[in-house]
Amino acid sequence: MVTSFRHSIFIMIMLTVDVLSQTVVPAGNISGHWTKAGSPYQIVIGDVTIPSAETLTIDSGVVVQLDLGLNLKVDGTLNALGTKTDSIRFTTAQSVPAVGQWGAIIVAGTANISFAVVEYGNGSTGSLGGAISSTSWVTKLQI
């Protein structure tokens, strides 16, 4: 009985830690530093934009979840530098993933992206989808 109770408490604590680590990103302008500790970052309210002269840095291991039709617009600088062993993932916020569920990463500024997975976006490339659109220079794209 005591062991069962302790096991239940442990599961509740683990579920609480998982819920507390989510970060809901408000619609509008964003910048700063997204760390693995705050992951997943959920863009579920409206499009977000990195304004000109601003920078968003995303650490390796971070998951960015976008909801139906929403976009990450880059007018400033996006530094999303994953590693071979700990990539960054841009994916759907839906519990049942399907191609085309979110919009795109739209680059009009500068994007430095390496070791990233882009899946289920509004693109038809590959079996998992994923979309990156650029009207400017993408200085490093290694996916």
For residue 87, list its beta bridge partners.
Answer: none
pLDDT in tens, 117-132: 999 988 544 444 557 8
Helix or strand holding residue 6 (H, E)? helix 2-20
Alpha-carbon span 12 to 8, nearest angstrom: 6
Q: In this structure, what are the phi and psi dihedrals at residue 25, rounded to the nearest 5 degrees?
A: -95, 120
pLDDT one-digit tens code per residue, 85-116? 999 999 999 999 998 899 999 999 999 999 99
Helix (H, G, I), strand (E, B) or coil at 33: strand
Per-residue pLDDT tens digits for 11-68: 444 444 444 589 999 999 999 999 999 999 999 999 999 999 999 999 999 999 999 9
| Segment (H or E) for 9 | helix 2-20
Q: Give pTM, 2 decimals.
A: 0.79
pLDDT of residue 97: 93
Q: Which residue has the higher pLDDT, 76 or 8?
A: 76
Measured CA to CA in angstroms, residue 113 lies from 1, 4, 13, 45, 87 at distances of 51, 46, 35, 24, 10
The sign of the torsion formed by the CA atoms of 26, 128, 83, 36 equals positive
Beta pairing partners, 99: none
Residue partners of 75: CB distance under 8 A and separation at least 6 = 49, 50, 51, 52, 108, 109
Does 139 have pLDDT greater than 70?
no
